[in-house]
């Protein structure tokens, strides 16, 4: 009987040991879905912070993106390359793609994975001017060197990934796997974890083995801050806020009131937050400044709308060419100029017209009351010793004049002193 008890005890210890060894691996999952911007950066940082607090075994970055902002992409790539936790980048689900800026993020992972029916590549830099799309050699060279450095860091084929930039190469999942751009093909997350079970990755010169026998996935939701910055760093939104803020402040200074200045200041501040994450074209900034100068000149010195029209043209062109974001989706450069041109042109024309009318009304208002009667003509009723009475605009006024006048003489008002009019004979 004693040996039976001993056997039961040994079996209990073994089962307890196995249950400890079978502890589920923690995997933090975060999605990059849509255009990459500063909101994406905050979302990724949030996920990595949680992974560190939870002592996660791996971070899974699920990709489905057409591209995005250069500055934001660089921040995300840097976060992945310097991570102390293994990072798995995964283009998923089928039909998804990781184009342009997304290609940089995919190859930066310790393990790069794609599901069949997805694609990667097409990262040729594109910029835009008011005449259309164009490609700058210096930009291509810079972006190509950047993707080469990432590929070299992760041991991926430099000659292939460089063609993403220089030749706009695009690969299917199977082609990317066969050329060594990615490490694994997996059509589902379950298949992904099974294939990566026992996989080794190198972190800080040490080999780390992934144990995915049992897993616990922690899915990270997008924090509110990320959603706000996602909106503000959107080039379209940032441009529209900038234009509203700019014209709001000008309108407020021209026609003082709490509402225009308040709305203008808020919109301008919010736009500057978004513009801070974007690569700007300084020629465009100069055009916008010139547009503001032309508008102010139109308000101060009436030119029958000539300077006002020049202001509208400068601001519209400046808004269209404001950004230099070579890794944004190609569709961005097809829609952005038309959208911003329409909004900017409409807003500029309406606001410029209103401002001119406000200034004109103010000039008319100055003549209302005492000054309004100056220049009016009337008829002398009686006059003696430099003083008398005259009928002006149907009313009897006291008058003064250095000229000799008689009843019935026509006079014109040249000044007013309280209730006394200074008059003279018309020339």
Positions marked active-site: 100, 138
In whole angstroms, what is the distance from residue 84 CA to residue 81 CA? 9
DSSP assignment string, 390-414: EEETTEEEEEE-SS---TT-EEEEE
Strand 420-424 with 25-33, pairing:
unpaired
DSSP assignment string, 204-217: TTEEEE---SSEEE
Residue count of the chain, please give it. Answer: 427
Find the DSSP H helices in 276-329.
282-300, 306-320
Cβ atoms of 113 and 60 within 8 Å: the answer is no
3-state secondary structure of 360: helix
Task: List phi, psi (to 5°) of 236.
Answer: -65, -45
Residue 214 burial (CB count, 10 A): 11
**Over the range 151-173, which residues count as b (16 or more CB within 10 Å of their CB) and which as e?**
beebebeeebbbbbbeebbbbbb
3-state secondary structure of 28: strand
């Amino acid at each position: 009987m004693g040996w039976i008890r001993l056997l039961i005890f040994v079996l209990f210890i073994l089962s307890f040991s196995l249950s400890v060894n079978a502890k589920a691996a923690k995997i933090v999952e975060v999605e990059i879905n849509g255009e990459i911007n500063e909101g994406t950066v905050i979302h990724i940082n949030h996920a990595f912070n949680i992974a560190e607090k939870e002592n996660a075994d791996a971070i899974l970055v699920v990709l489905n993106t057409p591209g995005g902002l250069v500055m934001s992409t660089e921040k995300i790539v840097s976060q992945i390359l310097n991570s102390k936790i293994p990072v798995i980048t995964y283009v998923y689900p089928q039909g998804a793609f990781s184009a342009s800026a997304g290609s940089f993020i995919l190859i930066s992972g310790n393990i790069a994975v794609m599901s069949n029916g997805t694609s990667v590549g097409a990262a040729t830099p594109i910029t835009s001017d008011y005449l259309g799309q164009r490609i700058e050699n210096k930009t291509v060279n810079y972006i190509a060197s950047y993707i080469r450095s990432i590929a070299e860091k992760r041991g991926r084929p430099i000659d292939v990934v460089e063609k993403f930039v220089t030749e706009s190469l695009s690969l299917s999942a199977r082609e990317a796997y066969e050329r060594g751009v990615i490490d694994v093909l997996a059509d589902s997350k379950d298949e992904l974890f099974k294939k990566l079970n026992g996989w080794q990755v190198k972190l800080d010169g040490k080999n780390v083995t992934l144990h995915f026998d049992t897993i616990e996935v922690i899915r990270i939701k997008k924090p509110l801050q990320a959603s706000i910055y996602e909106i503000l760093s959107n080039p379209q939104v940032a441009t529209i806020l900038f234009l509203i803020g700019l014209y709001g402040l000008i309108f407020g200074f021209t026609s003082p009131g709490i509402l225009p200045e308040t709305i203008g200041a808020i919109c301008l501040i919010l736009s500057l937050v978004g513009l801070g994450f974007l690569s700007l074209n300084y020629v465009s900034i100069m055009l916008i400044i010139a547009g503001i100068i032309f508008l102010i000149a139109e308000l101060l010195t009436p030119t029958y709308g000539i300077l006002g029209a020049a202001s509208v043209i400068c601001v519209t062109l400046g808004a269209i060419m404001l950004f230099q974001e070579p890794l944004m989706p190609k569709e961005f450069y097809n829609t952005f100029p038309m959208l911003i041109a329409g909004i900017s042109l409409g807003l500029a024309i309406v606001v410029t017209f209103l401002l001119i009318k406000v200034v004109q009304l103010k000039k008319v208002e100055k003549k209302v009351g005492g000054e309004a009667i100056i220049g009016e003509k009337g008829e002398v009723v009686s006059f003696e010793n430099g003083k008398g009475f005259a009928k002006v605009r149907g009313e009897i006024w006291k008058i003064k004049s250095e000229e000799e006048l008689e009843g019935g003489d026509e006079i014109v008002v040249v000044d007013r002193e309280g209730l006394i009019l200074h008059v003279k004979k018309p020339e």
